[in-house]
Amino acid sequence: MNSEPMNGLELQDLREPDVESEALDLVGLQSTVEETAYVWDASSDRIEWEANALDVLQVSGPGLIATGHDFNALIAAEHIGRRLEAISNRLSEETERGVPYRIQYRFQPGGRRSSISIWLEDHGRFWPGPDGKPKRARGVLRVINDQFFAEQRLLYHSDHDELTGQLNRIRLTEALGAVIARSMRKQSSAAYLVVSINNLSVINETFGFDVGDEVIAAVGRLIKEKLRAGDTLGRYSANKFGVVLNDCGFGAMQIAADRFIKAVRAASIRTTACPLTATVSIGGVVVPDQASTAHQAMNCALQALDRARAKRYDCFMGYVPSPTRETLRQRSMSVADDVISALDEDRMRLVLQPIVDAKTHVPMLYECLLRLHKADGSIVPAGDFIPVAEQLGLARLIDRRTLELAIGLLRKCPSLRMSLNVSGLTSSDKDWLAGLAMLTQGDRALTERLIIEITETAAIQDIDQTAHFVDCIKDMGCQVAIDDFGAGYTSFKNLKRLDVDMVKIDGTFVKNLLVESADRVFINTMVEIAGTFGMKTVAEWVGDIETARMLADAGIDYLQGYLYGLPISADDYSEAESRRPLLVDEGGSAAKG
């Protein structure tokens, strides 16, 4: 094919379109930025250059760069392979627009024996023939210097993860968003995979985090080697990589995932400690069919990854929509919105449930419970929002607000004794302890009327930390109770170690006490052990007079349940009511005396 000299229109094809291009002096503009353009005809090996080429490339005559062979003779020997590799043997479907390339190499205008050299960035497109070899190429050469390399290094580090050299999470997210947008325009499919290294925690614990980092970097390289041209790899988190697959349906996604799994499984990873092996689990989602945004795609892929990691072996799982899961997700979002708005707008309220003496049925203290008042006036009990709030990390905020309300109520009602629940997270919250100290100001007339309840399951998560929390509370004058005892696996040894003042027996051992002999054995044992340790006992969920009598006969100290009344609003509570005994007649009905 015969080549023709480049004109302004052909040059514009290499640039962004500009409506004012006809008014521009293109050659003059290129001269100011040390750029020149070319068209190379592979059949004749002739290169047609823009008029400024000799000045930009610093060569003495046009004959030195008239052909591809001549031009290649001026490229530094160690870099000649870069250009040949970039513009050769690449089959592509982009026959109309051409195959893009971008390379950098050292150029020696005076020949390879000359000490003078400049760095060039060469980017453009080539059009391959049926054999994949180029028929024609059109490109732009730009002179680059040390400042350029410094800028490129800064750009690289801002875009790439330092350890693995792959895209960082921000750029990975942007790449995924771009692919989704393009797929939506083209009405095609792409895929996103999240790859998790399975045994990294074991490697970190055994050999140290430095070796773990070596494994992470090696797994990144193994996955990179198995990518197709045009696909994207990035580091999503500590042990996870994200892979964006262009033009990929579910079947191709599964094939790619299996390819990555096998590559990692078969590799022996050399580390400074010893050769190691690793395995990966993969979750994937097809976009935009199953997720129309980068955020949705990442969430869906993580859900699929959870299913894959639940298996006992390394495997791939594709995302499967779940109406139930989506309903739960929407509910969690709604609960989070309700909790945050209620905290911001002061719509959290306290209610009090009496805890009575097992023999006299007189209220000895009240458990402080929380209610969320919604903007529409409806009231939500704690059991409907606390579990979700704990999962979403909102429990600390709730506990701090509850503490403020509780201390305010204790100040208002000098004769009130109150127990207050705290979440498992609060047992490690120094700010909560500081808040308790600040709100009470060392006034033991307040703290000695306050019992802090910690659930058994939370207490055993970190027994040393819980023991420290208990010691701090008791130093301030408060008492401590273990709530829902029996629901977890606390040993009596740990119970003694925590030095608690009260044990609240889980209601599941109380509600069927009349018919379950095993529950009666547990109650009797608990009373005996608690008595030995000098602890008071509370039985929850007491709903009838027969159960109340059986618990009293067993030696339980206090009773709590709907038998003794529904929780009452703290706003309606008064000191006079707290002094009036609650009497229970033989028929089991409760009334103020």
Q: How confident is the model at residue 26 (pLDDT cuts 50, 70, 90)?
A: very low
Q: In the predicted model, what is the mean pLDDT of residues 264-288? A: 94
Q: Which CATH superfamily is domain 348-587 in?
A: EAL domain (3.20.20.450)
Q: How confident is the model at residue 104 (pLDDT cuts 50, 70, 90)?
A: confident
Q: How confident is the model at residue 89 (pLDDT cuts 50, 70, 90)?
A: low
From the options 3.40.50.10210, 3.20.20.70, 3.30.70.270, 3.10.20.340, give the CATH code of 161-321: 3.30.70.270
Q: In the predicted model, what is the mean pLDDT of residues 232-237? A: 92
Q: How confident is the model at residue 18 (pLDDT cuts 50, 70, 90)?
A: very low
Task: Report CA dihedral (89, 94, 95, 100) to the nearest 10 degrees.
Answer: -60
CA distance 336 to 330: 10
CA distance 181 to 473: 56
pLDDT, tens only, 503-514: 999 889 999 999
CA distance 45 to 79: 20
Q: How confident is the model at residue 543 (pLDDT cuts 50, 70, 90)?
A: very high
Q: What pLDDT score was predicted for residue 354? A: 93
Q: Which amino acid is at 223?
A: I
352: nearest Cα among 44, 102, 572 = 572
Better-predicted residue by pLDDT, 9 or 495: 495
Q: How confident is the model at residue 364 (pLDDT cuts 50, 70, 90)?
A: very high
From the options 3.30.450.20, 3.40.50.2300, 3.40.50.2000, 3.40.630.10, give the CATH code of 8-144: 3.30.450.20
Q: What pLDDT score was predicted for residue 414? A: 87
CA distance 478 to 480: 7
Least reliable range by pLDDT among 14-18, 418-422, 561-565: 14-18
Which helix H or strand E contains 299, and what residues bound it? helix 294-309
505: nearest Cα among 451, 559, 570, 461 = 559
Sequence-separated (6 or more) residues with CB below 8 Å from residue 289: 189
CB 189 within 8 A of CB 318: no
Three-state DSSP at 458 gives: helix
Average pLDDT, the chain: 84
**pLDDT at residue 81 greater than cutoff 90:** no
Q: What pLDDT score was predicted for residue 353? A: 94
pLDDT, tens only, 409-461: 999 888 899 999 988 778 778 899 999 999 999 999 999 999 999 887 766 66
382: nearest Cα among 405, 407, 360, 356 = 405
CA distance 385 to 11: 64
Better-predicted residue by pLDDT, 591 or 153: 153
Better-predicted residue by pLDDT, 87 or 273: 273
Q: What pLDDT score was predicted for residue 541? A: 92
Q: How confident is the model at residue 356 (pLDDT cuts 50, 70, 90)?
A: very high
Domain ranges of the chain: 8-144, 161-321, 348-587
**pLDDT at residue 16 greater than cutoff 50:** no
Asked if the domains at 161-321 and 348-587 fall in one CATH topology, the answer is: no
Q: Which residues pair with residue 36 across a beta bridge?
A: 141
CB atoms within 10 A of CB 189: 19
Sequence-separated (6 or more) residues with CB below 8 Å from residue 107: 57, 74, 75, 76, 117, 118, 119, 120
**pLDDT at residue 200 greater than cutoff 70:** yes
CB 290 within 8 A of CB 319: yes
pTM of this prediction?
0.56
CB 253 within 8 A of CB 245: yes
**pLDDT at residue 169 greater than cutoff 60:** yes
**pLDDT at residue 264 greater than cutoff 90:** yes
**pLDDT at residue 208 greater than cutoff 60:** yes
Q: Is 181 exposed, middle or buried (0-12, 13-18, 19+ CB in 10 A)?
A: middle
**pLDDT at residue 115 greater than cutoff 70:** yes
Q: What pLDDT score was predicted for residue 14? A: 39
CA distance 106 to 533: 82
Of 273-287, 391-405, 579-593, which has the strongest mean pLDDT?
273-287
**pLDDT at residue 587 greater than cutoff 70:** no
Which helix H or strand E contains 193, and what residues bound it? strand 190-197
- Provide the percentage of residues in the chain whose pLDDT is more than 70: 85
CA distance 331 to 485: 30
CA distance 581 to 20: 92
CB 418 within 8 A of CB 352: yes
**pLDDT at residue 490 greater than cutoff 60:** no
**pLDDT at residue 334 greater than cutoff 70:** yes
Least reliable range by pLDDT among 140-149, 150-159, 191-200, 260-269: 150-159
Go through the chain and tell me how many residues it has. 593
CA atoms within 13 A of residue 198's CA, in its CB half-sphere = 21
Structure tokens at 421: 């629940």
**pLDDT at residue 313 greater than cutoff 60:** yes
**pLDDT at residue 111 greater than cutoff 60:** yes
Q: Dihedral of CA 495/460/513/507: which sign?
A: positive
- DSSP for 84-136, please give it: HHHTSS---S-TTT-EEEEEEEEE-TT-TT-S--EEEEEEEEEEE-TTS-EEE
CA distance 52 to 143: 13
Q: What pLDDT score was predicted for residue 491? A: 55
Q: What pLDDT score was predicted for residue 577? A: 54
Look up tokens 């250009």; give the residue: 83
CB 485 within 8 A of CB 505: yes
**pLDDT at residue 586 greater than cutoff 50:** no
Which helix H or strand E contains 357, and what residues bound it? strand 348-357
Look up tokens 């002096």; give the residue: 25
Q: What pLDDT score was predicted for residue 537? A: 94
Look up tokens 């040393």; give the residue: 464
**pLDDT at residue 590 greater than cutoff 50:** no
Q: How confident is the model at residue 487 (pLDDT cuts 50, 70, 90)?
A: low
Q: Dihedral of CA 434/435/441/447: which sign?
A: negative
